[in-house]
């Protein structure tokens, strides 16, 4: 049997549930234009019309499964496009943060001395500033364009990635096989790529899952505050903010994008928990 299929078959129900949730969101993000019955910004009806749960809601063709938002757009369409925008930006941001954080962390652990001191003190300065305040300050000055949002959040998250990558690389860098590679004349980047990285993958992959959740929630929080993705772009955080007043009138529309945020977060964490358990080498008691 294929090792990947065997691993999937042996996965507990919680991990399979997490995979299903994540794959469902990825499917929605990739095929959003095919799945959605309307365009992202199309107004199809009145404000806050009920969805499939409301027998008195006006009928639409195609049907508005989740009803309409605060200006009459199809909420189901907005949620699907929100998955594409929120998850896509969070993934790009996390990848950039890991590229920067791991490179600097491995460099500091391998060279040590003044290089380690300079990078570590710079990271300490950035980490001393509260993340949300720093992001709000920079985004207020530079604007909320997507590329600015990605770079700012990636820079903030790279400091956390740097800390864990430096810590795990310090343990590996003193191992005999690394010393042998150095004595063999291998270059710095070769040692980092072929010796340190493969032996630190388990904690780094787990950290990637957790960091993706933090970035994803941070983008949603910034959007809720009005400094994330800007209208009319669909984003789960901004959708909660835009429809929040509906709660006052007993309208559940704002809870739908909030539930999407919570569901994806739970799904990713279920996978990360399983991966950490597998990497630890601890066997389940039968």
> Percent of the chain beyond pLDDT 90?
31
**Predicted local confidence at residue 95, as pLDDT:** 94
> Percent of the chain beyond pLDDT 70?
95
| pLDDT at position 142 over 50 | yes
Cβ distance 79 to 236 under 8 Å? yes
The token duo for 60 is: 């639409």
**Predicted local confidence at residue 3, as pLDDT:** 65
For residue 285, name the pLDDT band (cuts at 50, 70, 90): very low
What is the tens place of the pLDDT at every residue in 143-152? Answer: 878 889 899 9
Cβ distance 80 to 256 under 8 Å? no
| pLDDT at position 139 over 50 | yes
Q: How far is CA 97 from CA 29, 153, 158, 219, in A?
A: 22, 8, 4, 14
**Predicted local confidence at residue 1, as pLDDT:** 55
Output 144 or 285, whichever has higher pLDDT.
Answer: 144
Q: Please identify which residue in the block is written with the tokens 């959007």.
A: 223
Number of H helices, E strands in the chain: 12, 0
What is the tens place of the pLDDT at every residue in 231-254? Answer: 888 888 888 888 888 888 888 888
CATH number, domain 20-280: 1.10.3720.10
**What is the domain partition of the chain in residue ranges?**
20-280
**Predicted local confidence at residue 281, as pLDDT:** 55
Span 143-163, average pLDDT: 89
- CA atoms of 181 and 186, how far apart (whole Å): 6
197-203 contacts: CB < 8 A, separation 24 or more? Answer: 197/102, 197/106, 199/172, 199/175, 200/165, 200/168, 200/169, 200/172, 202/275, 202/276, 202/279, 203/164, 203/168, 203/279
Main-chain phi, psi angles of 43, to 5 degrees: -90, 125
């Amino acid at each position: 049997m294929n090792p990947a299929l065997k691993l999937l078959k042996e996965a507990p129900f919680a991990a399979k549930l997490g995979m299903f949730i994540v794959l469902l969101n990825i499917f929605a993000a990739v095929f959003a234009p095919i799945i959605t019955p309307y365009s992202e910004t199309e107004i199809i009806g009145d404000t806050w019309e009920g969805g499939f749960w409301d027998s008195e809601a006006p009928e639409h063709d195609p049907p508005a499964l989740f009803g309409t938002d605060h200006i009459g757009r199809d909420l189901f369409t907005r949620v699907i496009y929100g998955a594409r925008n929120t998850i896509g930006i969070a993934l790009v941001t996390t990848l950039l943060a890991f590229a920067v954080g791991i490179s600097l962390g491995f460099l500091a652990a391998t060279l040590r001395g003044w290089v380690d001191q300079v990078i570590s003190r710079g990271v300490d300065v950035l980490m001393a500033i509260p993340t949300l305040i720093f992001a709000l300050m920079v985004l207020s000055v530079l604007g909320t364009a997507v590329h600015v949002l990605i770079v700012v959040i990636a820079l903030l998250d790279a400091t956390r990635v740097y800390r864990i990558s430096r810590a795990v690389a310090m343990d590996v860098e003193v191992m005999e096989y690394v010393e042998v590679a150095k004595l063999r004349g291998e270059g710095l980047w070769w040692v980092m790529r072929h010796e340190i990285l493969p032996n630190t993958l388990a904690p780094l992959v787990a950290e990637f899952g957790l960091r993706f959740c933090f970035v994803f929630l941070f983008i949603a929080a910034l959007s809720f505050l009005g400094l994330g993705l800007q209208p009319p772009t669909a984003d789960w955080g901004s959708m909660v903010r835009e429809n929040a007043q509906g709660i006052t009138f007993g309208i559940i529309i704002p809870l739908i994008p909030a539930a999407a945020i919570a569901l994806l977060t739970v799904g990713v964490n279920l996978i990360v928990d399983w991966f950490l358990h597998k990497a630890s080498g601890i066997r389940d008691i039968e």
